[in-house]
């Protein structure tokens, strides 16, 4: 292994995350290395959060977000919480400003150990999501799966939270739908020139919902923070809920989403450290640290 970099295997409510520290180097994690890591059960991930030296004054770091297929994403709320927990444990700092390809993110670790990420402002205009054709009202667009006279899924809300999202509202349990079959079709639908994250949401009260997500470039995941944000703001925008919502994800955990009056969306939830090691950013070869998890400071 040449030029190894430290990394940690973590998760945010089951969303499988690798946090890789490339600060002080000019290295980047190659798409081939990402795919190699994703192919192994021990290092399989939904996103790699690659921490780089800051580009913009006043920020702590620049974060590249890499999907399991080697492509890049603009936002990952669950991954950002993992980054905050890792850096807070290392530095003692509680409040951070990060830069990603989608813009600046403020994030913090609370006294109770939960982590909050300001995911910024949602975008609803069809051009900024983006869509390939004009829709004046993105609260419900013309898109469906299944027979024309009896579609299985139809009329999703669409929004951008740094990534494009389509949310299909359903009355039945979210597990009743073959998202593993519909997800790839909808992710790559011509309506989404940058592909899209596809979610199925069931509102359970004016302050809660269940959510499953097919993530572009990653497939079915156990949680998706930006999807939870997109679903929460779309639910409020369509009158299904208020502006504070608890979103239950497949592992059974909750993300607390608040759409503030200043239009910013705050996401609060846990993160969990699993193990750490070093990896070669060019090849994906890695070694686990020998220290057990309980020995971590």
What's the pLDDT tens digit per position in 255-296?
Answer: 999 999 999 999 999 999 999 999 999 999 999 998 654 444
Q: Is the pTM of this model over 0.75?
A: yes
Kindly state the average pLDDT of the residues 145-173: 95
- Is 186's pLDDT higher than 60? yes
Q: What is the CATH number of the domain that holds 252?
A: 3.10.310.10
State the pairing for strand pair 47-52/254-259.
unpaired
Kindly state the average pLDDT of the residues 157-167: 96
Structural domain boundaries enclosing 15: 5-120+271-290
Q: Identify the CA nearest to 267 among candidates 9, 13, 59, 66.
A: 13
Number of domains within the chain: 2
> Which pLDDT does position 17 carry in this prediction?
97
Kindly state whether residue 295 falls inside one of the protein's structural domains.
Answer: no
Within 8 A by CB and 6+ apart from 166, the residues are 141, 143, 156, 157, 158, 186, 192, 196, 197, 198, 199
In sequence order, the β-bridge partners of residue 65 are 49, 73
Same-domain check for residues 252 and 276: no
Cα–Cα distances (Å) from 291 to 4, 14, 16, 98, 262, in that order, read 18, 23, 21, 29, 45
Same-domain check for residues 278 and 257: no
Kindly state whether residue 254 falls inside one of the protein's structural domains.
Answer: yes
State the pairing for strand pair 47-52/15-21.
parallel
Tell me, what DSSP letter sits at residue 175? G
Residue matched to tokens 């051009």: 127
Same-domain check for residues 57 and 165: no
Q: Is residue 224 a contact partner of residue 230, using CB atoms and an 8 Å limit? A: no
> Which pLDDT does position 102 carry in this prediction?
87
Helix, strand, coil distribution of the chain in percent, nearest 5: 20, 35, 45
Kindly state whether residue 127 falls inside one of the protein's structural domains.
Answer: no
Percent of the chain exceeding pLDDT 70 equals 97
pLDDT in tens, 36-85: 999 999 999 999 999 999 999 999 999 999 999 999 998 899 999 999 99
pLDDT in tens, 86-111: 999 999 999 999 999 989 999 999 99
Same-domain check for residues 252 and 280: no
Active site residues: 76, 224
Kindly state whether residue 136 falls inside one of the protein's structural domains.
Answer: no
Kindly state whether residue 96 falls inside one of the protein's structural domains.
Answer: yes
Kindly state whether residue 105 falls inside one of the protein's structural domains.
Answer: yes
State the pairing for strand pair 244-248/5-12.
unpaired
Same-domain check for residues 83 and 108: yes
> Which pLDDT does position 292 carry in this prediction?
54
């Amino acid at each position: 292994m040449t030029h190894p970099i430290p990394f940690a295997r973590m998760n945010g409510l089951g969303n499988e995350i690798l946090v890789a520290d490339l600060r002080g180097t000019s290295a980047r994690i190659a798409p081939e290395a990402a795919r190699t890591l994703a192919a192994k059960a021990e290092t399989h991930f939904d996103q790699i959060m690659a921490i780089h030296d800051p580009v913009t004054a006043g920020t702590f770091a620049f974060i590249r977000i890499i999907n399991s297929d080697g492509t890049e994403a603009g936002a990952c709320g669950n991954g950002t919480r993992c980054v905050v927990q890792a850096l807070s444990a290392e530095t003692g700092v509680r409040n951070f400003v990060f830069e990603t390809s989608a813009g600046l993110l403020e994030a913090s670790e609370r006294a109770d150990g939960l982590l909050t990420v300001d995911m910024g402002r949602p975008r609803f205009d069809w051009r900024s999501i983006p869509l390939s054709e004009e829709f004046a009202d993105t609260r419900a667009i013309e898109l469906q799966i299944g027979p024309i006279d009896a579609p299985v899924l139809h009329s999703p809300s669409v929004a951008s939270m740094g990534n494009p999202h389509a949310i299909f509202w359903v009355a039945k349990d979210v597990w009743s739908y073959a998202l593993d079959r519909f997800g790839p079709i909808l992710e790559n639908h011509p309506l989404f020139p940058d592909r899209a994250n596809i979610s199925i949401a069931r509102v359970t009260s004016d302050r809660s919902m269940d959510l499953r997500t097919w993530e572009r470039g990653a497939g079915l995941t156990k949680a998706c923070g930006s999807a939870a944000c997109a679903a929460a703001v779309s639910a409020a925008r369509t009158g299904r809920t208020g502006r504070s919502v608890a979103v239950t994800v497949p592992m059974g955990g909750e993300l607390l989403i608040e759409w503030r009056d200043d239009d910013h969306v705050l996401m609060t939830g846990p993160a969990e450290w699993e193990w750490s090691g070093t990896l070669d950013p060019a090849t994906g070869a890695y070694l686990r640290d020998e220290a057990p998890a309980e020995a971590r400071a």
